[in-house]
Amino acid sequence: MNREHIFIIAEIGINHNGDLNIAKKLIDWAVLAGCDAVKFQKRTVDKVYTKEYLDSYRESPWGMTQRAQKEGLEFGKAEYDEINQYCEEKGIEWFASAWDTEAQEFLRQYNLKYNKIASAMLANDEFLKAVASEGKYTYIATGMSTYDEIDHAVAVFRKADCPFELMHCNSVYPMPKEDANLRLIPALKERYGCKVGYSGHETGRIVSTCAAALGATSIERHITLDNTMYGSDQAASLNVRDLVRLVEDIRLIEMILGDGEKTLSEKELETRKKLRGV
């Protein structure tokens, strides 16, 4: 029976808090849960933020400025080399959403199967073209974007003949469940004639399981070892035990949805003989 496999991405993002050991523990949990991939975020701090912003006050474990906080959350080549090797040993794919073209160029040194356009980057034409030029299968998040902006991103990827998948997304952290608007999943599929996944920032599992039942072809969720840890994404993340449960839910949904073909099983044929006599 041919069932659609929902691609499950455990978004580590910056929830590692600059600690490679935490990153490895999150990778371990993603493998244990049966996820298809883990995802990180990569920024060139001086490209993404202004000097004025980086010099401004922010208290964090790394210092008292925005720069100290942003740089404390970034992994460099040494860390990503180790992540690359660790994921290879564990048998799980990894990739990252870059937030600037320099960061995207950094990621090219690794043999990654996938790219990701974060919602924040969907309206950046230069960045879209840079990613599309690589020709890798790309997940495109559509949070805080208009149809006109999504139209343009889709056109860029189609012009480059780069395979892609849209991801319905609401860019609120955490997202109130009543704002999920999951009917956009089939609406986006119909409008663009492509696969559509779901990137969620809500708490709990129910919205993501509903997205799977509505036909999402991928599910991406931020994950954390502890929702009370330092970090702006922690509260909108699944704790790792709920990640295990979510993957179980999604795999069960795949089985429940079946293949859409009208067939009579052996058990149903037995019932038919009893009730119809034929």
Position 106 in a domain: yes
Averaged over 79-106, what is the pLDDT?
Answer: 98
Least confident of 74-78, 197-201, 220-224, 273-277: 273-277
Position 1 in a domain: no
Q: What's the DSSP call for residue 160?
A: T
Position 257 in a domain: yes
pLDDT digit string, tens, across residues 168-189 = 999 999 999 999 999 999 999 9
Range of the domain at 72: 7-276
Identity at 188, one-letter amino acid code: L
Q: What is the CATH number of the domain that holds 144?
A: 3.20.20.70
pLDDT digit string, tens, across residues 225-264 = 999 999 999 999 999 999 999 999 999 999 999 988 999 9
Does 120 have pLDDT greater than 90? yes
Averaged over 152-165, what is the pLDDT?
Answer: 98
Does 2 have pLDDT greater than 70? no
Position 75 in a domain: yes
Position 2 in a domain: no
Shortest CA distance to 211 belongs to which of 243, 168, 173? 168
Contact 9, 37 (CB under 8 A): yes
Q: Are strands 63-65 and 57-60 parallel, antiparallel or unpaired?
A: antiparallel
Pair of tokens at residue 99? 């937030």
pLDDT (0 to 100) of residue 1: 45
Position 23 in a domain: yes
pLDDT (0 to 100) of residue 4: 84
Position 215 in a domain: yes
How many domains would you assign to the chain?
1
Contact 253, 4 (CB under 8 A): no
Identity at 247, one-letter amino acid code: V
> Based on the number of CB atoms within 10 Å of its own CB, is 256 exposed (0-12), middle (13-18) or buried (19 or more)?
exposed
**Which ranges of the chain would DSSP assign to H, the alpha helix?**
20-33, 45-48, 51-55, 66-72, 77-90, 101-107, 125-132, 147-159, 184-192, 206-213, 240-257, 266-276
pTM of the shown model: 0.96
pLDDT (0 to 100) of residue 38: 98
